[in-house]
Copies of this chain bind each other. A is one copy, B any other.
Amino acid sequence: MEISSILVMLAVLIVLAYIGSKLFEKFGMPGLIGEIVIGVIIANLAIGDWSLLGMLDIDIELHNENYDIISLFAELGVIFLLFSIGLKTKVCELMSVGRAAMLVALMGVLIPFVAGFALIQVYDGNMHHALFMGAALVATSVGITAKVIKDMKLLDAKESKIIIGAAVIDDVLGMIVLAIVVAMTQSTDMEVSGIVLITAEALIFVLAIIALCLWVVPKLYAFIDERTKARIKKTGNSKIGIDKLILAIVVCLGMSWFADSIGLAAIIGAFLGGMLLADCTTEWKIDEKVEAITTFFISFFFLHVGMQVVINDLMSLTVLILATIVIVVACLTKYFGCYLGAAIGDKSLDKGSRNIIGFGMIPRGEVGIIVASIGYESGAMSSELYAVVVVMAVATTIIAPPLFAKAFKKKYPPELEITSDCGCTVK
């Protein structure tokens, strides 16, 4: 491994992503779309001796060493992003929108699954293909929406809480759907008890974290705080910053790993890990530091999303038409499902709010791709459909943010102050 060539690759990619982001912002679009587009360009056009990357000897090819580093940094980026969102989300605030979030997630899972399943049943009549397409349409990748919310500084808006809460529940539901689909499509059929077990694991994990946040963590903090103060008094050494940051990093990585190991998305673990520390964010001054780490990594996440698109795979007319239909279905079903869920779940939400929630849940991002790749690798999905899902995942990720940002701006004009209204005390 040549460290020097990695250094220049990282620097060049960060610069390119930054340029893409600024260009799109100039035209009033969310900057992250520019970064995704740069990713598409890098993966499809910019590789060759004539290009900037070629001139600097930067060689990025699917699953070569450089690509693996980008993947790792991408994953760390979105993990730290969700962790920093978690750091600013108090559990009580999330609980206060629990009913709405639950219904948004439920409807946002049900309608896309049925539609995806039906569509592929009509298209090629293959049951396995249809099941996996349904499962891929279920996934919601909250990373993209979270970045837009963060950039717009609207984390305290009720709609943001509902979206984030719904994303957590959505991930649990999506995992259950995937487990059932895998069981149904694989010859080694999984017992019902197996599916119940996975489901129970995920539910217990999420509920345990919420319980910890509510009852255990506050006491633990009081204890640590007391000890730290005693130490400072005794030794005069007030070097807290680094220690707390290391604790935060370990919680973030550890929770991501744990969530992943029980079948949930790593980013859900990161978010819950952040929420565990949310009470101390301000006091420990960790949010700015975590944000700095996020800044280092996050561009790679958006670049990586774009790099998944292999334009050559889309060059057949059938695939192109199918992809277009799937993209439309993916957007409409998620939007209406979540819109409906919001309407049923919380009567106080007006049309503007339901719009925000509907648009915010559209991006499938890397989660949809993971589902499709499980199907592809197990042989239950064709390479053609896999390419379609990848394009759908990236397209929904590009389509949603402008709509989402616009709906948000309409509801909350920039001059409006947002206040958290869950009634819990915010330090």
Contact = CB atoms under 8 A, between A and B. Distances in A.
Interface stretch (A9-17, A179-187, A206-214, A418-426): A9-17
B254 A8 contact: yes
A253 B68 contact: no
A213 to B, nearest CB: 20
A35 to B, nearest CB: 12
Nearest to A270: B7
A43 interface: no
B290 A14 contact: no
What bracket does the count of chain A residues touching chain B fall in? 35 or more
Contacts of A198: none
Contacts of A75: 3, 7
A18 interface: yes
Contacts of A7: 75, 79, 253-254, 256-257, 260, 266
A6 interface: yes
Given A10-B253, A257-B11, A1 B246 contact: no
Given A289-B288, A292-B245, A266 B3 contact: yes
Contact of A253 (B11, B245, B249, B250): B11
A242 interface: yes
Contacts of A72: 1, 3, 6, 69
Q: Is the interface of A mostly helix, strand, loop or mixed?
A: helix
B295 A68 contact: no
A166 to B, nearest CB: 24
A188 interface: no
Contact of A292 (B79, B250, B256, B289): B289
A312 interface: no
Q: Which of A11, A288, A291 has the most CB of B within 10 A?
A: A11
Interface in A241-272: 242, 245-246, 249-250, 253-254, 256-257, 260-261, 266
A92 interface: no
A8 B266 contact: no
Interface string A15-28: 10010000000000
A260 B15 CA distance: 20
A251 to B, nearest CB: 9
Contacts of A296: 249, 293
Contacts of A295: 242, 245-246, 249, 289
Contacts of A79: 7
Interface in A122-153: none
A14 B252 CA distance: 12
A4 B270 CA distance: 12
A121 interface: no
Given A71-B1, A295-B246, A254 B289 contact: no
Contacts of A69: 72
25 contacts: A3-B71, A3-B72, A3-B260, A6-B72, A7-B79, A7-B254, A7-B257, A7-B260, A8-B253, A8-B261, A11-B249, A11-B250, A11-B254, A11-B257, A69-B72, A245-B292, A249-B295, A249-B296, A288-B288, A289-B289, A289-B292, A290-B292, A292-B292, A292-B293, A293-B296
Interface of A: 1, 3-4, 6-8, 10-11, 14-15, 18, 65, 68-69, 71-72, 75, 79, 242, 245-246, 249-250, 253-254, 256-257, 260-261, 266, 288-293, 295-296
Given A3-B71, A15-B250, 19 more contacts: A4-B257, A4-B261, A7-B79, A7-B257, A10-B253, A11-B253, A11-B254, A14-B246, A14-B249, A14-B250, A18-B246, A69-B72, A246-B295, A249-B296, A288-B289, A289-B292, A292-B292, A293-B293, A293-B296
Interchain residue pairs A-B with the least CB separation, the first 5? A289-B292, A11-B253, A7-B257, A292-B292, A8-B257
